[in-house]
Amino acid sequence: MSFEEAEIIKKRAYSFLRNAERLIEEGEYDLGMFDLEQYCQLILKYKLLVKKGSYPRTHSLRRLIRELGEFNESILVLINDIKNLHYIARLEEACIASRYLPTIYGEMETRDLFRFVKEVFKSIVEAI
C-alpha cells in the first residue's frame, strides 16, 4: 500500500474520532461507541501499514495490538493491564453490538470509553 493510501486510513481514523465526539455530545451513544471502535481499529491498521506494509483483515483490536507489539512492546499495556483490557474488550463488543444487537449504550459508559480512548489509547498508540 502506498504512503498516500496509508494517510487516507489515518485521516479516516481521526474523522471517526471527531465524529464520535460529536455524536456523544448529541446523545447518540450507540453510534458514538461504534465510531470510537472504528477510530481504534483504523489507527492500529494505519500504524501496522507504516511499520510492516500491511495489516491483517480482522476487526479484533486485541489481535492488531498484539501485532503492533512485535514492533513496540509498550502498546501491549493495552491488553496486558486488566483495566485497559476491559476497555479494549468493550470497544470490540461495540463494533458488533452497536450495529446488529438491540444493545443500548448509556451516556456514562460511552463518555467513560471516550475518555479512555482519548487519554489512554490514543497517547499510547501515537507514541509508536
Residues 6+ apart with CB under 8 A from 69: 75, 76
Q: Residues 77-111: pLDDT tens digits?
A: 999 999 999 999 999 998 887 667 778 899 999 99
Is the separation of the CB atoms in 92 and 27 below 8 Å?
A: no
Say yes or no to pLDDT of 15 above 80: yes
First to last CA, the chain: 19
User: At 3, is the pLDDT very low, low, confident or very high (cuts 50, 70, 90)?
Assistant: confident
pLDDT of residue 1: 62
Q: What CATH number should be reported for the domain holding residue 13?
A: 1.20.120.330
Task: Please tell me whether residue 115 adopts helix, strand or coil conformation.
Answer: helix
19-44 pLDDT, tens digit per residue, is 999 999 999 999 999 999 999 999 99
Q: How many domains does the chain have?
A: 1
Note the maximum CA span of the chain: 40
Per-residue model confidence (pLDDT) at position 5: 86
- Residue 92 structural domain: 3-126
- Identify the pLDDT of residue 97: 75
Better-scored residue on pLDDT, 26 or 3: 26
